[in-house]
Amino acid sequence: MLSTTSVTDRNIESIATLQGASAVKSYLQTSPEYFMKRLLAAGSGDIFCLGKAFRSGEAGVRHNPEFTLLEWYRCGWDEHQLMTELGELIETLLPTIAINKYSYAELFAKYFNIDPHQAELSSLQKLAVEAGSSAWSDDSRANCLDLLFSVVIEPQLSDGLVLVYDYPACQAALARCYSDSQGRNVSRRFEAFLNRVELANGYFELTDGQEQASRFAEDQQARKIAGKPPMEIDQHLLAALESGLPDCSGVALGVDRLLMQIEGAASLDQVMPFSWDRC
């Protein structure tokens, strides 16, 4: 769980720890993804990890700085096969659950009558200002889309499991991109929502080490502009990608949130022995 580097994500803050008299900095993992990809590159085959992950500053009804993630990878599968398996997993726990699947663009067409991949940034900003506040008037494409999705679309999703795929290229994170049936460059990333609560995030994984290195560098630049603490790039991960990550899909699922839904609990602290406000 402890590593000398951590993610460069612009919106995820790692918890740093200090070791020894010289206070050498290391980080608690925000997910087991990088370690798992190194195992995959070393030939592990399909793997899963059920364990703790940590994210700084995330505390609330649906957030806790320490939480449990179930993450698994399927070699040779694409994201749609993995979405099917995710649906089967949820069905074994909640046998009567309804499962629906939409593309990101379908949902934006339905609720905003807009193409999230091709709309002008200014029209996304205008919608974001209406849904949020003037603080979004000069914000990025990714941030405007996130706001619109979270504030307008998510609360209107149907009961049960909703799988959303083909996320915008600007939110690709560690997913590979492709040209969809309408020629739009979109990412092969998906998310799962259980009763309108974000439950899981998955990718048809990017295996191109150079592409990954340039995305990390962009993240670092974005962090710098936003005044966030700099994060070193995990060279072990890049080396693993260079040596060859097999084609695979992976997904990470918030176990505490799943328990919350199974139990019908209103907040995470009802399914955790010691949520953050009791620590």
Residues forming the site for another protein (CB under 8 A): 9, 11-12, 57-63, 131-133, 135-136, 142-143, 146-147, 149-151, 171, 173, 191, 198, 201
Strand ranges across the sheet with 161-165: 47-54, 66-75, 248-254, 197-204, 189-194, 161-165, 99-103
User: Across-strand partners of 15?
Assistant: 28
Cβ-based nearer residue to another protein, 198 or 211: 198
Question: Are the CB atoms for 11 and 236 separated by under 8 Å?
Answer: no
Considering the complex, what minimum distance in angstroms separates the CB of residue 230 from another protein? Answer: 18
State the Cα–Cα distance between residues 36 and 40, nearest whole angstrom.
6
Cβ-based nearer residue to another protein, 27 or 244: 27
Strands (E), the chain: 2-3, 15-19, 24-28, 47-54, 66-75, 99-103, 161-165, 177-179, 185-187, 189-194, 197-204, 248-254
Closest alpha carbon to 99 in 85, 81, 87: 87
Cβ-based nearer residue to another protein, 139 or 240: 139
Considering the complex, what minimum distance in angstroms separates the CB of residue 149 from another protein? Answer: 7
Considering the complex, what minimum distance in angstroms separates the CB of residue 143 from another protein? Answer: 5
Considering the complex, what minimum distance in angstroms separates the CB of residue 12 from another protein? Answer: 7
Cβ-based nearer residue to another protein, 143 or 246: 143
Considering the complex, what minimum distance in angstroms separates the CB of residue 201 from another protein? Answer: 5
Cβ-based nearer residue to another protein, 199 or 241: 199
